[in-house]
Structure 1
Amino acid sequence: MKSKILLPVMFLLAVLISPSLMAQDEYYRPDSLRKEQPERKEVPPIERNPQDQKPVLAEKKKLEDFKDKKFIERLRLGGSFGLSLGTVTNINVSPMAGYELTEKLVGGVGATIMYFRYKYYDINTAYYGGRAFLMYNVIPVVNIIGEFEAMNVVGSYQKRQWLGSPMAGASYSQPIGGKFIKAVHLTALYNFSYDSQIDKYSGQNLSPYGSPFVFRVTFL
């Protein structure tokens, strides 16, 4: 009777003890004989903000759209005019043509026709010439402008001569969305050669603007 009870008890103990023996055997087994466990590598999370990609993608698409523009779509046609009344009367009209070299840079040329009257010296004549310019858009409503103007003027003894005027300045621009006239520009320029444009006989400045500062309203 005792043997019948002892046998199941020993079998139960063997079942309970065997897992712990196997674990100890694995612990004391040499490293070369242990079961290879896959090594878990910790990969640091990569944080990506989708909003960081939007400006880059938008800028790239904008550049591609500009490159796809046809010649006629980059062309700008318009002109400028200026008016000064008083001792010096100056009426200035200049048709202009520009071309979008890049998304922000416009280069162009213009022809100038000017009526000029100087009351004290009884000068009453017309001037003519042309100019070349570059206009760079800094922000949507502000452009910086560099220009060179060549003007045929009248000096002493009604002798005509050419004046070259390098100018630079800026404009406040209001977009109007026209096909060729994209904006209206209120422009202020400074003539760097004004002080040297002196008539050698009369000692008077020959610049038809009457000042180193040149103000225009330009449609382009």
Structure 2
Amino acid sequence: MKRIIQLSLLLFALVFAFQVDAYGQRGGKKKKSEVDKYFDESGGFAHRLWYGGGFNLGFSGNNLESIFQIGISPMVGYKITEEFSVGPRANISYLLYKGETFTPAGVQSANLFDYGLGAFARYKIIRAIFIHLEYGFDNEARIAGYDGDWITDRRIRNNAFVGAGYSDGNGVWGYEISLLYNVLQEENTLSLPLDFRFGITYNF
């Protein structure tokens, strides 16, 4: 699995290096004013930032338990170049759990929270298509049993996502969809390694 991550990072670095070289070769053909405009620091740090946010809403259940989930995942990117950006991404989710206790109490509920933090690198191949790499962790609540109230514990799960996405918009506000594969997905789990995301962006 480490080899997969290393190969993915190497491929990403090669693509970025190629683009930088191509940009340098085109530099002589561009007007100086265009280059100066992008690298002008008079706008401060903020003019290279872009913002994004994703949402999740879901429900699952069977005869013994049900889970309702809602969450957000804000992110901030820093444009090293117009195509290449890096930054942090966070996520927090609220879960309403209801389950059969197999006691006189019957069905009982619990309020749970999951949260996570990570860092990403993103590269625009063309205006609308981008490659996305991300490493981070999720701190998840789990139901461990029932003793008058639901007993919960927590676990930390590491993630390494590799994938691509599509972005479109009116130049300032936009939306994006992406499909990522978690190369660190545990084998002994019912969860799929695929992560489908939808969100909005500003200044991407």
Q: Same fold (TM over 0.5)?
A: yes
Q: For this pair of structures, how many residues does the alignment match? A: 155
Matched, 1:174 2:168: yes
SS at match of 1:64: helix
TM-score of the pair, normalised by structure 1: 0.59
5+ residue gaps, structure 1, are 1-52, 199-203
Report deviation, 1:72: 1.7
Aligned-partner residue type, residue 64 of structure 1 = D
CA, structure 1 residues 148+60, in 2 after alignment: closer, same or farther (shift >3 Å)? farther
SS at match of 1:73: helix
Which of 111, 134, 141 is the matching residue for 2:128? 141
CA distance in structure 2 between the aligned counterparts of 1:79 and 1:59, rounded to whole angstroms: 35
**Structure-1 residue corresponding to 2:147:** none
CA distance in structure 1 between the aligned counterparts of 2:97 and 2:183, rounded to whole angstroms: 22
CA, structure 1 residues 167+58, in 2 after alignment: closer, same or farther (shift >3 Å)? same
* 1:71-82 equivalences in 2 (<5 Å): 71-82=45-56
CA distance in structure 2 between the aligned counterparts of 1:146 and 1:82, rounded to whole angstroms: 20
Report deviation, 1:160: 0.8
**Structure-1 residue corresponding to 2:153:** 159
CA distance in structure 2 between the aligned counterparts of 1:191 and 1:119, rounded to whole angstroms: 28
Report deviation, 1:152: 0.6
CA, structure 1 residues 93+54, in 2 after alignment: closer, same or farther (shift >3 Å)? closer
Which of 59, 65, 71 is the matching residue for 2:37? 65
* 1:42-57 equivalences in 2 (<5 Å): 56-57=28-29
Report deviation, 1:127: 0.3
CA, structure 1 residues 125+75, in 2 after alignment: closer, same or farther (shift >3 Å)? same
Q: Deviations over 1:54-80 (max 9, x none)?
A: 985238654433211532211112311
Aligned-partner residue type, residue 102 of structure 1 = T
CA, structure 1 residues 89+167, in 2 after alignment: closer, same or farther (shift >3 Å)? farther
5+ residue gaps, structure 2, are 1-24, 62-66, 101-108, 145-151
Report deviation, 1:118: 6.8
SS at match of 2:87: strand
Residues 54, 73 of structure 2: 8 Å contact kept: yes
Report deviation, 1:96: 1.6
Which of 155, 158, 180 is the matching residue for 1:189? 180
SS at match of 2:125: strand
**Structure-1 residue corresponding to 2:105:** none
Matched, 1:131 2:122: no
Residues 97, 112 of structure 2: 8 Å contact kept: no
SS at match of 1:102: coil
Looking at CA atoms only, which structure, 1 or 2, has the larger radius of gyration? 1
Greater fraction of residues in strand: 2
Q: Deviations over 1:9-49 (max 9, x none)?
A: xxxxxxxxxxxxxxxxxxxxxxxxxxxxxxxxxxxxxxxxx
CA distance in structure 1 between the aligned counterparts of 2:163 and 2:38, rounded to whole angstroms: 26
CA, structure 1 residues 169+75, in 2 after alignment: closer, same or farther (shift >3 Å)? same
CA distance in structure 1 between the aligned counterparts of 2:162 and 2:136, rounded to whole angstroms: 11
Report deviation, 1:155: 3.8
TM-score of the pair, normalised by structure 2: 0.64
Q: Deviations over 1:116-140 (max 9, x none)?
A: 4677788862201212111100011
